[in-house]
Amino acid sequence: MNPRLPAEWEIQDGVLLAWPHEATDWAGTLDKVRPVFAEIIRQITRFERVLLATPHVSSTAEYLASVGVELNSVTICEIPSNDTWARDFGPITVIYNDKPVLMDFGFNGWGLKFAANHDNQITKRLKELGALKPNLNTIGLVFEGGSIESDGLGTILTTAECLLSPNRNPQLNRSEIEQAMASLIGARRVLWLNHGWLAGDDTDSHIDTLARICPNNTIVYQACENPLDEHFETLKLMEAELKAFKTPDGSPYNLVALPWPTARFDSAAHRLPATYANFLVINGAVLVPTYRDPEKDRKALELIGQAFPGREAIGIDCLPLLEQHGSLHCVTMQLPQGVLA
């Protein structure tokens, strides 16, 4: 029986995060970013459990309790980390013979850009500590959770810029990567985007910053309607590619264009990768990144909420996360039913 990569909207046991600490790139902005992580955790625990990796268990628990997080719904594990991007070092869960299996792919700091010696071991350490229940399958392939979207039925949406990056799996061509995805995560077909990027993004165009598969053959995507913006041309080309994609039965996808966030810059005037596509689906809700832009934030919440009928759309101010070039989905990894011990 082939493996199957569940859709994000299937039933979950919980969500994995890693806590920002002094040895991460957040060191200079912990007072700004910890409240964001705490709010993400607080909202998740309204619906399901949180699994949290941190080198400092007691101080992390004290902080979360002080801001009203329900600690009974949080499992905190003492584990060293380089950073906080759980989407890309966390386990990718596949269903094999009706049981979850944890795929522990290699993580090399998005193509050798950043140190990842601790982060690459987090899934293995969580298993050794007894926090994760299923069997662990350690694989030499470099493969990040943010680089793939699944409909749960064998369709994978991804970007050529990331999966064909020479610093990830240089020994594999496009066809061989497709074969690996077929055997390891059950990809029956792969939809490749050849266009789309965000200034300030370190991931080489992760799909979860650009376009997301939703229920009912819907894809929501980050659009840009400003012809003067540096992203206008590439995102228009991406939109054309999305319009050309067909569902397994040959129909076009229902496409939903998300509003274009107001440009944000760091203190050195480098543009930051603001995107509304970086949302997280959990049991009963979808957590949507917002950027202190009331009208666009409201519109993004409305559109993403409509794409996930029956779920509460909850906005979380993620402007501080942009400082390290990521957003809400990037710092989380869902753990499907049967994964948490």
Give the DSSP per-residue string, 205-218. S-GGGTEEEETTTE
Q: What is the C-alpha radius of gyration for the chain, rounded to an integer number of angstroms?
A: 19
As a whole number of angstroms, the distance between CA 138 and CA 253 comes to: 34
Q: Provide CB contacts within 8 A for 178, sequence distance 6+.
A: 187, 190
pLDDT for 1: 65
Do strands 333-336 and 12-18 pair parallel, antiparallel, or not at all (unpaired)? Answer: antiparallel
| Choices 3.40.50.150, 3.75.10.10, 3.40.630.30, 3.30.365.10: CATH for 12-336 | 3.75.10.10
Kindly tell me the sign of the dihedral angle through the C-alpha atoms of 36, 38, 42, 47: positive
Question: pTM of the prediction?
Answer: 0.97
Specify the DSSP element, H or E, that contains 299: helix 294-307
Q: Phi/psi zone of residue 11: left (φ > 0), alpha (ψ -120 to 50 degrees), beta?
A: beta
- Start-to-end CA distance of the chain, whole Å, equals 25
As a whole number of angstroms, the distance between CA 264 and CA 326 comes to: 13
Give yes or no for a contact between 331 and 37, defined as CB atoms under 8 angstroms apart.
Answer: yes
As a whole number of angstroms, the distance between CA 278 and CA 15 comes to: 15
As a whole number of angstroms, the distance between CA 118 and CA 156 comes to: 28
CB atoms within 10 A of CB 83: 23
Kindly tell me the sign of the dihedral angle through the C-alpha atoms of 78, 330, 334, 145: negative
Give yes or no for a contact between 93 and 136, defined as CB atoms under 8 angstroms apart.
Answer: no
As a whole number of angstroms, the distance between CA 160 and CA 205 comes to: 9
pLDDT for 111: 82
User: CA–CA distance from 20 to each of 107, 152, 264 (Å)?
Assistant: 19, 31, 22
Annotated domain spans of the chain = 12-336
As a whole number of angstroms, the distance between CA 224 and CA 260 comes to: 5
Q: What is the largest CA-CA distance in the chain?
A: 54
Helix and strand numbers (H, E) in the chain are 9, 16
As a whole number of angstroms, the distance between CA 313 and CA 190 comes to: 29
As a whole number of angstroms, the distance between CA 161 and CA 181 comes to: 16
Specify the DSSP element, H or E, that contains 64: helix 57-66
Do strands 92-96 and 99-106 pair parallel, antiparallel, or not at all (unpaired)? Answer: antiparallel
As a whole number of angstroms, the distance between CA 185 and CA 98 comes to: 14
- The amino acid sitting at 84 is T
**pLDDT in single tens digits along all 341 residues of the chain:** 689 999 999 999 999 999 999 999 999 999 999 999 999 999 999 999 999 999 999 999 999 999 999 999 999 999 999 999 999 999 999 999 999 999 999 998 888 898 889 999 999 999 999 999 999 999 999 999 999 999 999 999 999 999 999 999 999 999 999 999 999 999 999 999 999 999 999 999 999 999 999 999 999 999 999 999 999 999 999 999 999 999 999 999 999 999 999 999 999 999 999 999 999 999 999 999 999 999 999 999 999 999 999 999 999 999 999 999 999 999 999 999 999 99
CB atoms within 10 A of CB 200: 18
pLDDT for 207: 98
Beta-bridged to residue 157, according to DSSP, are: 149, 191
